[in-house]
Structure 1
Amino acid sequence: MVHPGSTPVPSQPRRRGGCLPALVILLVILGLGFGASKFFGSDGKKSSSSSSSSSSSHDKGEWKVGDCGGPDPDDAPNGYKAFDCGASGATFKALDIQAASFMPDSIQCPGGTDLIIQVSISYGSSKSKGGGIPSKTVCGRNLSANHPGDPGAGGGQLVKGDCVTSTAKEVSCASSGSGAYKVLDLTKQTSQCPSGTTEPMRLTMAIGRPYDVICAAKQ
């Protein structure tokens, strides 16, 4: 069927197949796998500065909200693994569990997230350090009293309640002074900003990011 307004493409005569097309397909598949491993790096660390990677899994990757984890001494300095919440090695608790993503900007954790960890699953009898297939994203909150990801604290991902400068740089609301702006919402369009927005900041496009506008107002 040809859809209205489209131009039909004339059919091409079929040619005899050979091993060359199959070889090309195999090379493409191998190339994609190699590219994915290069994207995540040898230790699986994502490009975001607030993110860390986990080279080990919990119950074969089945992390749940409320699970705890901490640094993996066998995969320092960027590795994390699961711990019982009462164990001495536990440093964070999972606030939210999201799917893994090849686009770091598409991961948007809830307010209060202090660190973001990419969980990987390794197959086979031996686990290579930092290797594996990304399976989950853990939005973690520190078990200590240090919470840079709290709204307004100046760290973690940008969320409602944070403060930014006129150049959209996140700062601590308590120490930012009169030149800062309070984030009222994060939207795709300026027209979606809530009432009270006096400084809508349109950001440079980023693939996968769930918002393009910071709806802000003077603090």
Structure 2
Amino acid sequence: MGTRCALLLAAAAALLTGCQASGGAEGSDARTSVASRPSGHGEVFLAVDECSSRGRTGFSEVPCTSERAAARVLARHHGEAGQGPSCPARTDFVLHISESRPAKDEDGDGAVPRGHACMRNLEPPHPGDPGGGGGPRTVVGDCVYSAGRREVRETACDGSGERTPEYRVASAVRSRARCGPATALYVTLGGSRPVGCAEPVRAATSSPS
């Protein structure tokens, strides 16, 4: 499953709560929980621009030139995702890193603090790209479908996902009043332009390029 977002039909009166990330073991979805497995590469475990492998037992830090390298760190934050800065828009998935006691650590005290790393796959697919059907954030260009209970979930715009896209986020604005007349629902995006104006897929794709 991809990112879940609360929705509001355009005719309703108030905007609901924002996006929440859903779990996924292969990294194609928004969140993946792992225990840190330091390998001695770099002073900080999975620092920005460092790479990780992906295996059955979890993720390990490896040189980006390694054949095992599968994803690169775009941003690294302490604490839980959602409690600090947002991951970059191109993030494919989030690694949640638990404490461990490696030989090398960030400040020499023998422990890696809990935190999370915003990851991007080195090779396609990139579910975090606009229309990709996943990632921890909903952005302009993403497609969603109704999941019931006034909630939507992301799906690939090209129809390759498990669910057919019903709406496409056409723009991000500061308030609902700035959405265009074709808007069928509002999706909470967060950031400085928190309102996503979503149009029915047919209307959004049939406009002249």
With structure 1 as the length reference, what TM-score do the two structures score?
0.55
Which of these residues, 127, 144, 153, is aligned with residue 148 of structure 1?
Answer: 127
Structure with more strand by fraction: 2
Deviations 1:142-177 (A, max 9, x none): 122322222102122322210112442212111289
Whether contact under 8 Å (2:90, 2:128) holds in the other structure is yes
- What are the equivalent positions in structure 2 for 1:35-184 lying under 5 Å apart? 48-49=22-23, 50-52=30-32, 53-57=34-38, 59-61=42-44, 63-71=46-54, 76=57, 79-94=58-73, 96-102=74-80, 104=82, 108-123=86-101, 133-135=113-115, 137-157=116-136, 158-166=138-146, 167-175=151-159, 180-184=166-170
Structure 2: runs of 5 or more not aligned: 1-20, 24-29, 104-110, 205-209
Give the Cα separation in 1 of the matches to 2:35 and 2:172: 29
Instruction: Return closer, same or farther for 1:179/1:146 CA change in 2, 3 Å cut-off.
Output: closer
Higher normalized contact order (CA 8 Å, seq sep 6+, divided by chain length): 2
> Which of structure 1's runs of 4+ aligned residues deviate more than 6 A?
176-179
Deviation at 1:202, TM superposition (A): 5.4
Structure 1: runs of 5 or more not aligned: 1-46, 126-130, 204-208
Larger Cα-atom Rg: 1
RMSD of equivalent CA atoms: 3.8
- How many residue pairs match? The answer is 159
- One-letter amino acid of the structure 2 residue matched with residue 201 of structure 1: Y
Residue 199 of structure 2: aligned partner: 217
Instruction: Return closer, same or farther for 1:169/1:88 CA change in 2, 3 Å cut-off.
Output: same
Whether contact under 8 Å (2:156, 2:165) holds in the other structure is no
User: In percent, how many aligned pairs have the same letter?
Assistant: 26
Deviation at 1:185, TM superposition (A): 4.2
Give the Cα separation in 2 of the matches to 1:194 and 1:215: 6
Whether contact under 8 Å (2:35, 2:99) holds in the other structure is no
Give the Cα separation in 2 of the matches to 1:147 and 1:124: 31
- One-letter amino acid of the structure 1 residue matched with residue 36 of structure 2: S
Deviation at 1:103, TM superposition (A): 5.0
Deviations 1:74-93 (A, max 9, x none): xx1xx312111121221112
- One-letter amino acid of the structure 1 residue matched with residue 154 of structure 2: E
- What are the equivalent positions in structure 2 for 1:166-205 lying under 5 Å apart? 166=146, 167-175=151-159, 180-185=166-171, 189-191=175-177, 193-195=178-180, 198-201=183-186
With structure 2 as the length reference, what TM-score do the two structures score?
0.57
